Amino acid sequence: MELSRAVAALLLACSAWLGCVQAVTLEVKEGNSTCIKAELSASFSITYDTISGTGTAQFTLPDSAAVDTGSSSCGTDESLSWLVAVFGPGHALGLSFSSNASLYSVANLTLQYNLSDSTIFPGANSSGVVTVVSASVGISAPINSTYRCVSPVAVRVGGATVTFSGMRMEAFMPGNDLSTKESVCSADTTTTTAPPTTAAASTTTAPAPTPAGTPDHGTYFVKNSNGTDCLLAQFGLQFNISYFSKSQNKTVQDLVNLTPSQTNASGSCEASRATLVLTEERDTTLSFTFTLNSTTNKYHLSGLSLLAIWPDMTDQFSASNTSLEYLRSSMGRSYMCKAEQTLIVAPTLSLNTFSLQVQPFGVITDQFATAEECQMDQDQMLIPIIVGAALAGLVLIVLIAYLIGRKRSHAGYQTI
Ligand SMILES: *[C@@H]1O[C@H](CO)[C@@H](O)[C@H](O)[C@H]1NC(C)=O
Ligand SMILES: *[C@@H]1O[C@H](CO)[C@@H](O)[C@H](O)[C@H]1NC(C)=O
Ligand SMILES: *[C@@H]1O[C@H](CO)[C@@H](O)[C@H](O)[C@H]1NC(C)=O
Ligand SMILES: *[C@@H]1O[C@H](CO)[C@@H](O)[C@H](O)[C@H]1NC(C)=O
Ligand SMILES: *[C@@H]1O[C@H](CO)[C@@H](O)[C@H](O)[C@H]1NC(C)=O
Ligand SMILES: *[C@@H]1O[C@H](CO)[C@@H](O)[C@H](O)[C@H]1NC(C)=O
Ligand SMILES: *[C@@H]1O[C@H](CO)[C@@H](O)[C@H](O)[C@H]1NC(C)=O
Ligand SMILES: *[C@@H]1O[C@H](CO)[C@@H](O)[C@H](O)[C@H]1NC(C)=O
Ligand SMILES: *[C@@H]1O[C@H](CO)[C@@H](O)[C@H](O)[C@H]1NC(C)=O
Ligand SMILES: *[C@@H]1O[C@H](CO)[C@@H](O)[C@H](O)[C@H]1NC(C)=O
Ligand SMILES: *[C@@H]1O[C@H](CO)[C@@H](O)[C@H](O)[C@H]1NC(C)=O
Ligand SMILES: *[C@@H]1O[C@H](CO)[C@@H](O)[C@H](O)[C@H]1NC(C)=O
């Protein structure tokens, strides 16, 4: 048995100034045939002991991660097959796969990290390599199908959390490329439980001005395999989030702005589903799922999920809702709302958006199509019109009064 080659390549070739997050492609081969292929992004959060207490290291799987041909294998009848990616000085992420006649699954996930790497683990009180294993990963799919999970999925392994996103993966592959048949993870399947058809009150205005200040405006795009833009979005975004604060030892309600310059966009576009995943500073993953109803040719924001591991959090924050009815517009149009909007996700999380414009479907020539504006903008458009009309009326009245007055005084002079 010989493993001839393994490849790690960049998947998304977005120009750097757009700030797209890269997915890594990993392949395990035997001879000329591929048995495991994975396209994914992964981020890690690891707590470790330091001289002065504990620290949390947060980093992403770099695009330089490569399959370790020595420890990866396609497996034999008795042994499991392994995908092991190595990166940096002595770090590794391993997935072992098992299968029966109908299903294959990730049997366990292994994470190996080198505490001597002081760029990732500054001030660690010990050195050397730590290996942690988790057997409950929850990734499985039918044989001859590709496991797909665009939404972020977090796996706890020892004192670490590995968060996968944008994942497409297959083991025990029948051919050299991922099967076209997909098995979609539950986080990706929108559970639209017949929402009430009244589109009214789907958005509500935030009542108070924001102490955190208005967030910066960011522009994000998702490209399809053609390299053309298939989803466009621009907005300023603010999290209104409640979590248990480590420093204050209590649950706090916090307003936090998304910083566009530190945010990378990725995602996917399909015929009736489009996803935008925003990753900020390795510790915040926000995903938007848009759904198109092909009968009515209307789309809306149907799902939102946030995974956050901020320094002041004791645990990873996670909130998601897949039955939302926000940002409704028509196919071939973009949705625009200049006014501030509040998107309620869960009791612990809502998002405030500012000057938002999105188009998740039917993007042509990398530009927004004509916008359908939200009701609040239409209402606000009315104000200048009303004020303008009132002013024009006032001017007219003054003018008439003046003319009448002039005529009278004129008549007065004539009688003298
Ligand atoms: C792999 O492919 C090359 C060229 O396509 C061929 O020459 C070689 O015999 C193949 N090797 C195996 C083990 O199939
Ligand atoms: C761990 O990191 C240190 C420092 O970068 C390096 O010298 C050492 O070789 C690494 N250990 C392994 C097993 O790669
Ligand atoms: C394969 O494994 C799954 C879960 O481990 C089980 O539900 C299923 O019945 C198994 N199928 C066969 C054919 O053994
Ligand atoms: C590192 O710190 C932890 C907790 O403070 C302690 O239990 C452990 O023994 C320390 N390790 C070394 C090598 O000093
Ligand atoms: C993970 O898989 C390996 C290989 O089969 C096995 O040796 C190990 O015991 C497994 N670990 C757990 C925690 O299941
Ligand atoms: C998977 O595909 C291979 C090759 O196309 C075929 O031989 C095999 O029977 C398929 N297995 C299942 C469970 O569908
Ligand atoms: C590639 O672009 C063309 C039009 O430019 C489009 O029709 C086609 O669906 C795109 N292919 C993919 C895979 O998105
Ligand atoms: C944040 O959420 C809380 C609770 O849902 C709410 O009372 C508060 O008004 C919100 N603040 C802003 C600025 O949106
Ligand atoms: C946090 O508060 C709880 C009760 O409110 C208290 O028992 C605990 O000691 C506090 N922890 C710290 C680190 O202050
Ligand atoms: C975004 O992507 C760029 C280039 O791919 C990378 O250098 C940067 O670290 C990423 N930023 C974040 C916040 O992940
Ligand atoms: C599309 O909209 C129609 C009319 O509102 C509805 O009956 C149908 O269930 C929707 N389809 C999907 C897939 O949501
Ligand atoms: C999801 O959002 C809907 C509509 O805003 C709300 O009724 C529902 O309670 C939310 N679900 C969860 C789990 O928060």
Q: What are phi and psi of 283, to 5 degrees?
A: -125, 5
Confidence at residue 228, expressed as pLDDT on a 0 to 100 scale: 86
CA distance 317 to 391: 52
For residue 147, how far is its CA from the centre of ligand 12 (angstroms)?
27
For residue 3, how far is its CA from the centre of ligand 1 (angstroms)?
13
CA distance 108 to 135: 4
- For residue 142, give the ligand nearest its CA: 6
Confidence at residue 35, expressed as pLDDT on a 0 to 100 scale: 93
Residue located via tokens 């458009």: 381
CA distance 236 to 270: 25
Confirm or reject: Cβ of 126 under 6 Å from ligand 7. no
Could you list the pLDDT tens digit for every one of the 416 residues in the chain? 333 333 222 223 332 222 334 578 999 998 888 999 999 989 888 888 888 877 788 888 988 999 999 999 998 766 789 999 999 999 999 999 998 889 999 999 999 999 999 888 888 888 889 999 988 788 999 999 999 988 888 888 887 889 888 899 999 999 899 999 999 888 777 543 333 333 333 333 333 333 468 899 999 999 887 788 999 999 999 999 999 988 888 899 999 999 999 898 888 888 898 989 998 876 888 999 999 999 999 999 999 999 888 888 888 888 989 999 999 999 999 999 999 999 999 999 999 999 999 999 999 988 999 999 998 888 776 676 777 777 888 888 888 887 888 777 766 555 55
The CATH-assigned architecture of domain 2-187 is Beta Barrel (2.40)
Question: Which of 4, 32, 35, 176, when mutated, tests ligand 1's pocket best, judged by the most ligand atoms within 8 Å of its CB?
Answer: 32
CA distance 304 to 283: 17
Confidence at residue 130, expressed as pLDDT on a 0 to 100 scale: 93
For residue 301, how far is its CA from the centre of ligand 12 (angstroms)?
13
Q: pTM of whole model > 0.75?
A: no
Question: Which of 11, 222, 224, 273, when mutated, tests ligand 7's pocket best, judged by the most ligand atoms within 8 Å of its CB?
Answer: 224
For residue 116, how far is its CA from the centre of ligand 2 (angstroms)?
6
Confidence at residue 391, expressed as pLDDT on a 0 to 100 scale: 81
CB-neighbour burial class of residue 53 (10 A; exposed 0-12, middle 13-18, buried 19+): exposed
CA distance 232 to 8: 28
Q: Where are the beta strands (DSSP E) in 68-149?
A: 81-87, 91-99, 103-114, 129-134, 140-142, 146-149
Domain ranges of the chain: 2-187, 218-372
For residue 29, how far is its CA from the centre of ligand 1 (angstroms)?
12
Confirm or reject: Cβ of 248 under 6 Å from ligand 1. no
Confirm or reject: Cβ of 393 under 6 Å from ligand 2. no
Could you please state the CATH topology (level 3) that the domain comprising 218-372 is classified under. Answer: Porin (2.40.160)
Distance of CA 284 to the CA centre of its chain: 9
Measured from the Cα of 103, ligand 3's closest atom is: 1
For residue 39, how far is its CA from the centre of ligand 1 (angstroms)?
25
Pocket of ligand 10 (CB under 6 A): 16, 19, 21-22, 262, 264, 279-282
